[in-house]
Structure 1
Amino acid sequence: MNSSFNRWKFLITACLVNFCTGSIYAWSVFAGPKAEQMSQLQNILYTAADLSIVFGLANAVGPLPMIFGGFINDRFGPGWLMTIGGLLIGSGLFLSGSASDMTTLILSYSLMFGLGLGLTYGATINTCVKLFPDRRGFAGGMATAFYGLCSVVLPPIAHMLTTDFGIQRSFEIVGTVCGAVICIGGLLSFLFVGKASGDQKKTAIVGGLTWRQMVSTKRFWKMLFFLCCGAVSGMMIISQSAGIASKQIGLSSALAATAVSYLALINTLGRVAAGTLSDRLGACRTLILSSLLTALGMVTLLFCGKGSIVMFFAALSLIGFSFGSFMGIYPGFTAAAFGAQHNSVNYGIMFTGFSFAGVLGPWIIKTLSAGGSFSSAYSVACCISLIGTLAGWIISRQDL
């Protein structure tokens, strides 16, 4: 009973830690003021677009610490990884505030913060999945949902901090608070996971493929492809949601910002709802349904025009919920397919499918919308989602 209670304590801790790990979402608010600060310090004109590589690299390095940290997490638990990750996240954000050139900003934000993010996110998600073998979808959905929730809550707070204290102090405040919370969560996890370890060994750590064995299976490559197809559309729309709202639908800047927040909220809710549904319906079936909903969302966007506000928000609901489904379900889906024993490493490798989608989705919409219309990008995304649906059906035939 005590072990079961402590796994719930860890889940709550992981949710709070992941909320702070999601501080990467403050970048959308920090980028403009940071570019202005660097322009003044260097007498070189920087724009928010010029700094986009910093944000992109921070996301791109994520799978590397997830894989490396996975070896440690599978053997010694999440405590050290979360604590070190918190120090890296806090220090990276704090130092980013005073960074005056691109090299320093890349070192502090892209590398320090990005590495800390990967270590922390991988440790929390995979430990939750291991501690809840009976409710993997729910546990993975909750832990990832709080990471996404930060994208709704933090940007307005970051905007307020930037207005009141300036960009350097804002980075330092967010870094200090988030780093401290994550480190405290890491230290607490020594108590919670340690006390629950006996139950964990009996229920969760039972067999499983190593990463070498996993990547040698056809099932892995099918699942990797399925994840990429499932995430492409979401990453595409997330990267351009404000532009679509203003250019295609004709919304004001205020309503366009509302659309961005709404998409983030639906994405967050989708992680919990779909994760819980997958525990009843099955992970693969839920993901197949999500792929079909994504395709429907893209078709809906194709028919949106000026003033189609209700239809536009309906499309965002379908796409955001489906994207959240893949993020919430896939950690447990990977553990179910290849065993929980090495899931920290295995999911880190599987996560590269999401990283690829994070590059491919924005590239597709940027390239195909160069003429001013998003229709071609929507059509391609719809086709990718339908191909993903077929991949999911093939996987489901293996009775996962």
Structure 2
Amino acid sequence: MRTATAIDKPGASSSPLNSKWVQLALGIVCMMAISSPQYVWALLTKPILAQLGVSLTQLQVTFSILIVLQTFFSPFQGYLVDKFGPRLLLSIGTILTGLSWVLSANVVDVTHLYLTYGVLGGLGTGIVYIGVVGLMVKWFPKNRGFAVGMVAAGYGIGALLTTFPISNSLAASGYQQTLTVFGYLIGIVGLLAAQGIRAPRADRTQTAEQTASASSGVSPKTMLKTPVFWVMFLMFSMMSTSGLMVISQMGAFAKDFGVATMLVWGMAALPLALTIDRITNGLTRPLFGWISDRIGREYTMTIAFGLEAVAMFAWVMMRNDPLMFVLLSGIVFFGWGEIFSLFPSTLTDTFGQKHATTNYGFLYMAQGVGSIIGGPIAAYIHGVTESWLPVFAIMITLDAAAALLAFFVLRPMRADYLKKNPVA
């Protein structure tokens, strides 16, 4: 669709912005800019709980709204990106994300927090996330795993730059000042990076093979009728649940385990763990994406998902040791973050490039399912049982089951589908 590239002008092919590597770099910056609303939420729960006087379960609904709207609107957001172009939509998305924090700074009740942090943040981050991922599978048709892994790493590792500054700001200035200042930073940085974003031009930047690939693909309507899509959706939901439980509840269970404020290498365990998590959560995405480009998607899934199950089991068994809490949290995220490179790459490999952005929007809705189970439902289970052990048992089971499904179900099912329905 030419609308998406209407801003391109004749003779512009020599512009640095037409380089796939420049587009990759800009996509990473956009992703880094919008990562904090999800990945530093654990730092904000305690001060917001104290200010609003609500239960943890009520507060975690905010996080679920953020992820649900980030994901459940993804097909529509992907359609808008394809229709109106990535620069416009990513600009809107980054502005909404920054605005969500600025407005959240002055809420007086949890309902307003739902509307600002949850609704605006979810819509803003969703537009940027789905737009950037959809763009990269088109710019890098031969190295999708690596390219998507790199921009997904930007989302996973972006909060590394803000975790300690936000933690320090919360202690020194309170959450209202923190949300205001960092909200403006999120919006400004993301908006500036979005101005250079553009879709690849098949007539000037792609080879004949890549052009053929771009013109082929299964429509969302057809994709949704295939069993292989729903197996991927189930697996994505399972893996999202375990990771989002940790992201949303880590501040709470670290406190219950008694390690949150204990010192490791001279630093408090919780913010240190969150910082290490950002590194491993970011590195795993291009690494496992690159590995999957070489050994296959399902084999890589089996290894990575199994790693998370083992790491999470060891984590909960050594939960009272602050050093092991920090180290194993990093391994848990190393086994989790790669889902954001493996699933979009696998989906585009299976159903083609033509409708890649919108198609991934439908699969990305699984992240919303995971946020509900890993957020308020996990908090509810903890509240009823007064223990985090049942919650961890469920998450470990989901990880292990996803690893087995990748090898024994998805692998043969997808091979059979591609044999009958080859995609260029």
| TM-score, normalised with respect to structure 2 | 0.82
Give the CA deviation at 1:369. Answer: 7.7
2-structure distance, mates of 1:365, 1:183: 35
Q: 1:318 to 1:203 in 2, by over 3 A?
A: farther
Number of the residue aligned with 1:42: none
- Find out whether 1:342 has 2:351 as its counterpart: no
Q: 1:263 to 1:2 in 2, by over 3 A?
A: same
Q: Is the 8 A contact 2:143 2:293 kept in 1?
A: yes
Unaligned runs of 5+ in 1: 40-44
Number of the residue aligned with 2:229: 220
How many aligned residue pairs are there? Answer: 391
Give the CA deviation at 1:318. Answer: 3.8
Quick check: 216-225 or 260-269, which moved more? 260-269
Number of the residue aligned with 1:170: 178
- Find out whether 1:396 has 2:396 as its counterpart: no
Number of the residue aligned with 2:220: 211
Give the CA deviation at 1:225. Answer: 1.1
- Find out whether 1:138 has 2:146 as its counterpart: yes
- Find out whether 1:383 has 2:382 as its counterpart: no
Q: 1:251 to 1:113 in 2, by over 3 A?
A: closer
Quick check: 358-367 or 242-251, which moved more? 242-251
Number of the residue aligned with 2:381: 367
Query: What amino acid is the match of 2:30?
Result: V
- Find out whether 1:199 has 2:210 as its counterpart: no
Query: What amino acid is the match of 1:328?
Result: S
Number of the residue aligned with 1:65: 73
Number of the residue aligned with 2:27: 14
Query: What amino acid is the match of 1:261?
Result: T
Give the CA deviation at 1:370. Answer: 4.8
- Find out whether 1:154 has 2:131 as its counterpart: no
2-structure distance, mates of 1:250, 1:179: 34
Q: Is the 8 A contact 2:202 2:211 kept in 1?
A: no
2-structure distance, mates of 1:141, 1:316: 20
Give the CA deviation at 1:89. Answer: 1.8
Give the CA deviation at 1:19. Answer: 0.6
Q: Which of the numbers 332, 348, 351 marks the counterpart of 2:364?
A: 351
Q: 1:98 to 1:384 in 2, by over 3 A?
A: closer
Quick check: 347-356 or 64-73, which moved more? 64-73
Q: 1:260 to 1:26 in 2, by over 3 A?
A: closer
Number of the residue aligned with 1:275: 289
Percent of pairs identical after alignment? Answer: 24
Q: Deviations over 1:32-90 (max 9, x none)?
A: 445566x5xxxxx4577654332321221112332112112234431111011122223
Q: Is the 8 A contact 1:227 1:326 kept in 2?
A: yes
1-structure distance, mates of 2:109, 2:243: 32
Quick check: 106-115 or 326-335, which moved more? 106-115
2-structure distance, mates of 1:104, 1:154: 24
Number of the residue aligned with 2:245: 236
Give the CA deviation at 1:23. Answer: 2.5
Query: What amino acid is the match of 1:189?
Result: I
SS for the counterpart of 1:205 is helix
Q: Is the 8 A contact 2:316 2:392 kept in 1?
A: yes
Within-5 A mapping of 1:242-257? 242-245=251-254, 247-248=256-257, 252-253=261-262, 254-257=268-271
Query: What amino acid is the match of 1:381?
Result: M
Within-5 A mapping of 1:63-142? 63-142=71-150
2-structure distance, mates of 1:92, 1:247: 30
Q: Is the 8 A contact 1:83 1:182 kept in 2?
A: yes
Cα RMSD of the aligned pairs, angstroms, is 3.0
- Find out whether 1:300 has 2:314 as its counterpart: yes
2-structure distance, mates of 1:83, 1:328: 23
Give the CA deviation at 1:215. Answer: 0.6
Q: 1:196 to 1:34 in 2, by over 3 A?
A: farther
